[in-house]
Amino acid sequence: MQTLLDQIRAIVGAAHVLCEGDLSAWEQDWRKRSRGKALAVVRPGSTQEVARVVQVCAQHRAQNPSSQLSIVPQGGNTGLVVGSTPDSTGHQLVLSMQRMQAVRSIDAGNLTMTVESGCILKQAQDKAREAGFLYPLSLGAEGSCTVGGNLGTNAGGTQVVRYGNTREQCLGLEVVTAQGEVWHGLSGLRKDNTGYDLRHLYIGSEGTLGIITAATMKLFPLPVAQIGAWASLDTVEDALTLLGLAHRHLGADLTGFELMGQFPLNLVAKHFPKLRQPLELASPYFVLIESSSLSNPAQANEALESLMQAALDAACVKDVVLASSLAQSRSFWEIRETITLAQAAEGLNIKHDISVPISRIPEFVRQTDQLLAQHFEGVRVVCFGHLGDGNLHYNVQAPAGTNTEKFLQANEAQVNQVVFDAVAKFGGSISAEHGIGSLKVEHLTHYKSPVALAQMRAIKQALDPQNLLNPGRVVNCDNSSLS
């Protein structure tokens, strides 16, 4: 391995091959579910360097068939399914994209921005805004996650109802393959039917098929107004009625529709008491709606007011606060985005980023709440998320006062089974946002069809026959079945 590391030092520079000291920022996952041990953290500075590192690793594997060397691509390491950190073997290189942050170009006429994959999402948003455009992807981790990680996981976030997932926003990729070749696919074309669309294979592949080094992403006109409204509700059915009204009243101006249960907001109030809740926490559910307008702020305000009046008339909301300033809208979003941190502060937990058809969400929540209460006395459900997309974070926290670790050890598998069986029954997906990583590999084999799984394995085998890239994530293909 020393020779290999020397070869890699010669490619990226010795300062960018980290083997000693505190490597926890790269070895420990965000949720602290698993701490691995890297052979080294390698930080290439260009696409060519990435390609050469992959080439020497592929060569090493070819010359040492029993070698367990593999590569774990990493962006901001904010993923929630243990997909970007090494295992404990000490044989995995973490390939950190942190140094590749450049915005290569903005094509105003084509409404696109070409950006390197290590660019922090917030920086991409800021660069687009400076040029007079909106880069619409938005999520709680935007201050540290990267464009490459967003593409690797096909991240969703809070604006999907209007702008789609990361996949819908991407028009081209540059990728280093598992053989260390570079695929130059940064076309920026909106229409291209020349065979299989490789871009869509790499997006959402969680670093298992190739290393994304740059991407051409869509830009949109900057809205002139973004207004938030916060409403309290009795039921999830009411939230669905409100969603229908919001689509009708706001049309394409509807840019966010988030549901939050009372308990997740209680956690925010408990762990982040400085954040002022817009309404008393006395209702079972709350909704945050965002309207963004390209025309004028007064019109946007009127449209939101008329939506809320219609909602009050239909009795699907109890109380409503309309933000009177951009700062107040932002404060609504801050509360919503703090739920993940508040849940972490409450202790280790079980996360589910499920989706079911939007129309079936109320029944899914009712039945699954009941099942969990029956099987796990006192368990606390942290239900919130992107109702406008049919995607909920249906998370589970141990009963108050219990030892969280013990609860997880004893019950995590059964809790997952109850929730995922319900998801399957309602025709949903066990992961709508965060991906499979290591945490859901076994579940995928159970809930994905054998035909789909066989095709996924065939794709992995075709693109990465050595199983060099992020092995054991997404689909399990051990070396013996691949080589």
Residues near Zn ion, by CB under 5 A: 433
- The nearest distance, CB 338 to ligand FAD, in angstroms, is 9
> Measured between alpha carbons, how far is 255 from 150 in angstroms, rounded to an integer?
19
Count the neighbouring beta carbons within 10 Å of the beta carbon of residue 409.
Answer: 10
For 267-285, give the DSSP string.
HHHHH-TTSPPSS-S-SSE
- The nearest distance, CB 465 to ligand FAD, in angstroms, is 18
Is 77:131 a contact under the CB 8 Å cutoff? no
**Is there binding between residue 380 and ligand 2HG (CB under 6 A)?**
no
- The nearest distance, CB 158 to ligand 2HG, in angstroms, is 7
162 binds, among Zn ion, ligand 2HG, ligand FAD, none (CB under 5 to 8 A by kind): none
**Is there binding between residue 433 and ligand FAD (CB under 6 A)?**
yes
Residue nearest to ligand 2HG (CB): 340
For 304-373, give the DSSP string.
HHHHHHHHHHTT--SEEEE-SSHHHHHHHHHHHHTHHHHHHHH--EE--EEE--GGGHHHHHHHHHHHHH
Q: Which is nearer to ligand 2HG, 318 or 380 (CB)?
A: 380
Q: Which is nearer to ligand 2HG, 140 or 172 (CB)?
A: 140
- The nearest distance, CB 141 to ligand 2HG, in angstroms, is 8
SS3 call for 443 = helix
Q: Which is nearer to ligand 2HG, 318 or 434 (CB)?
A: 434
- The nearest distance, CB 244 to ligand FAD, in angstroms, is 23
Q: Which is nearer to Zn ion, 49 or 433 (CB)?
A: 433
DSSP 84: S
Q: Which is nearer to ligand FAD, 84 or 292 (CB)?
A: 84
Neighbour-count burial for 175-194, b at 16+ CB within 10 Å, e otherwise: bbbbebebbebbebeeeeee
For 87-104, give the DSSP string.
-TTS-EEEEE-TT---EE
- The nearest distance, CB 454 to ligand FAD, in angstroms, is 22
Considering only 153, 340, 397, 467, the residue that binds ligand 2HG (CB under 6 A) is 340
Question: Any idea which residue has 């060397």 for tokens?
Answer: 69
> Measured between alpha carbons, how far is 232 from 244 in angstroms, rounded to an integer?
16
- The nearest distance, CB 481 to ligand FAD, in angstroms, is 21
Q: How far is CA 226 from the centre of its chain?
A: 23
Query: What totals of helices (H) and strands (E) does the chain contain, helices first?
Result: 18, 19
**Is there binding between residue 199 and ligand 2HG (CB under 6 A)?**
no
Q: Which is nearer to Zn ion, 288 or 300 (CB)?
A: 288
293 binds, among Zn ion, ligand FAD, ligand 2HG, none (CB under 5 to 8 A by kind): none
Burial bucket for residue 402 (CB in 10 Å: 0-12, 13-18, 19+): middle
The encoded tokens of residue 28 equal 């420990």
**Is there binding between residue 440 and ligand 2HG (CB under 6 A)?**
no
**Is there binding between residue 393 and ligand 2HG (CB under 6 A)?**
yes
Is 50:176 a contact under the CB 8 Å cutoff? yes
Considering only 36, 44, 136, 157, the residue that binds ligand FAD (CB under 6 A) is 157
Which of positions 53-72 make contact with ligand FAD (CB under 6 A)?
Answer: 72
- The nearest distance, CB 188 to Zn ion, in angstroms, is 28
Question: Any idea which residue has 């691949």 for tokens?
Answer: 482
Considering only 255, 395, 397, 466, the residue that binds ligand 2HG (CB under 6 A) is 395
For 12-78, give the DSSP string.
H-GGGEE-SS--HHHHB-TTSS-B--EEEEE--SSHHHHHHHHHHHHHHHHH-TT---EEEEESSS-
- Residue numbers at the binding site for ligand 2HG (CB under 6 A): 140, 340, 343, 351, 353, 385, 393, 395, 433
- Residue numbers at the binding site for ligand FAD (CB under 6 A): 30, 72-80, 83-84, 97, 117, 139-141, 145-146, 148-150, 152-153, 155-157, 206-207, 211-212, 340, 433-434, 470, 473
